[in-house]
Amino acid sequence: MDKAYLQELIKEAERRGGGLVINQNDKPAVVIMTVDKYNQILADKTMPQTQTEDFHSNNNKTILVTGGAGYIGSHTCRELIKAGYSVVVLDNLSTGKKQNIPPEAKFIEGDTADKNLLLKIFTDEHIYAVLHFAASIEVEESVREPQKYLQNNALNTANVLAAMAESKVKNFIFSSTAAVYGDQSLMPIPETARAKPNNPYGYAKFVAEKIIKYHAQFMGLKAVIFRYFNACGCDFDGTIVPTHHSHLIPIVMQAAAGDIQALKVYGNDYNTPDHTCVRDYVHVLDIARAHVVALEKLDGIETFEVFNIGTGTGESVLDVVNAAKEILKKDIPLEFLARRPGDSVITVADNRKISQAWGFKPEFSDLETIIKTTWRQMYHE
């Protein structure tokens, strides 16, 4: 068995209190457990039932994942299925890839702008919760085409919520972004910081957040708003197909592979230790895991909660480059250019709220795991 996959299974078993059940044809087929749990069972002579019960109780719950063919959505679908949920994916495949959707999920090709389709899905599929990933995500494009971002990221979110309200679906988890914060002087950034988005992408997400809060305060919605920082990395098997190459880590990989001549570094005169921008890189598996935890916690939420998902530590562009050079044992040529308008200097999450509220901490967000999993995804090594 692939070592990384084995490690993943062990981590998963530990995370679930010592054991996990794998289904085949909708029936429990194999139990994987840690030696500690095995010894505990031998000592107790009684089989603890909790994890198995949890696993089965999720089987009655169907989750609608909009954007489930995309990068973060497809990783989350895998985690949901592992946790025993049934999954329906709604995706228009504008950037998402059909092969990213796990075979266990039901796929409906369509658009979040189509309210009649949403109403039909809510009637036919008895949806317990909506995880709303579907969006347009390119900051630079949003500056050129702000109307597209207002429509897809704000108005289509309102459309999903309107269909949910009509169908009495109450549970909602939303993919927001650190881009709602814009430039902040206080680092790391707490959820209470005043939002100051400085591009149409971040602004449209901020508008969507407001609409969600409206539904939560006046229309009975229970919502979790996650503000992800820089999502990166890939599942350990590397089989999820990339949907964008515009983010730093994939471009660093391209430079290391010789697919591009050099990595363009925008600005090396910032007020940071090595004068390049600093970001909070959080592994996509940690983001996916947070959604599974949120589903378990929704019952305890009165209206809505906002949580950052990040590591609480920043890495500069050069930190990422140096780590990739060392881990991949490859040269990474650099080309230094002028600062890019709209880039924040430092963006780092204060992640204490989710840790204190739910005990959630990132597990895979070290640069080594991020770089190795991205490399495997892109170059199959």
Ligand X SMILES: NC(=O)c1ccc[n+]([C@@H]2O[C@H](COP(=O)([O-])OP(=O)(O)OC[C@H]3O[C@@H](n4cnc5c(N)ncnc54)[C@H](O)[C@@H]3O)[C@@H](O)[C@H]2O)c1
Catalytic site includes residue 228 = no
| Contact call for residue 152 and ligand X (CB under 6 A) | yes
Which tokens belong to 119?
Answer: 């109403």
Binding to ligand X in span 194-233, by CB under 6 A: 228, 230-231
Looking at 71-79, 273-281, 292-300, 343-351, which segment touches ligand X (CB under 6 A)?
71-79
Counting beta carbons within 10 angstroms of the beta carbon of residue 324, is it exposed (0 to 12), middle (13 to 18) or buried (19 or more)? buried
Pairing between strand 230-232 and 281-283?
Answer: parallel
Query: Using the rule CB under 6 A, is 324 a contact of ligand X?
Result: no
Instruction: Build a one-symbol-per-residue string for 158-197: x at contacts with ligand X by CB under 6 A, - elsewhere.
Output: -----------------x-x--------------------
243, 276, 308, 311: residue in contact with ligand X (rule CB under 6 A): 243
Q: Which residue number, 64 or 216, has a Cβ lying nearer to ligand X?
A: 64
- The answer to whether 18 contacts ligand X (rule: CB under 6 A) is no
- Please give the radius of gyration of the chain, using alpha carbons only, rounded to the nearest integer: 21
Q: How far is the CB of 58 from ligand X (least distance, A)?
A: 23
CA pair distance 277, 265, nearest whole angstrom: 9
Contacts of 96 (CB under 8 A, 6+ apart): 67, 68, 69, 70, 73, 74, 243
User: How far, in Å, CA of 198 to CA of 177, rounded?
Assistant: 12
Give yes or no for residue 92 binding ligand X (CB under 6 A).
yes
Longest dimension (CA), the chain: 67
Residue 77 binding ligand X, by CB under 6 A: no
User: DSSP letters of 234-290?
Assistant: --TT--SPPS---SHHHHHHHHHHTSSS-EEEE-S-SSSTTSS-EE-EEEHHHHHHH
Name the residue with tokens 């999993």. 373
Verify binding: residue 72, ligand X, rule CB under 6 A.
Answer: yes
- With respect to ligand X, which residue has the nearer C-beta, 51 or 112? 112
Strand pairing category for 86-91 and 62-66: parallel
Dihedral angle sign, alpha carbons of residues 32, 37, 39, 45? negative
Site string for ligand X, 93-122 (x = CB under 6 A): xxxx--------------xxx---------
Q: Taking the complex as a whole, how short is the minimal distance between the CB of residue 146 and ligand X, in angstroms?
A: 15
Q: Closer CB to ligand X, residue 18 or residue 96?
A: 96
Query: Is residue 315 part of the contact set for ligand X (CB under 6 A)?
Result: no
Which CB sits closer to ligand X, 61 or 205? Answer: 205
Residue 39 Cβ vs ligand X, minimum distance, rounded to whole Å: 41
Which residues 284-313 are close enough to bind ligand X by CB under 6 A?
none
| Distance from C-alpha of 208 to C-alpha of 166, rounded to nearest angstrom | 18
Q: Does 73 bind ligand X (CB under 6 A)?
A: yes
Least CB distance to ligand X at residue 152 (A) = 5
Residue of 149, 181, 201, 270 marked active site: 201
**Tokens linked to 368:** 């080594």
Q: Which residues bind ligand X (CB under 6 A)?
A: 66-67, 69-73, 90-96, 111-113, 133-135, 137, 152, 156, 175, 177, 228, 230-231, 243-244
- Residues marked active site are found at 201
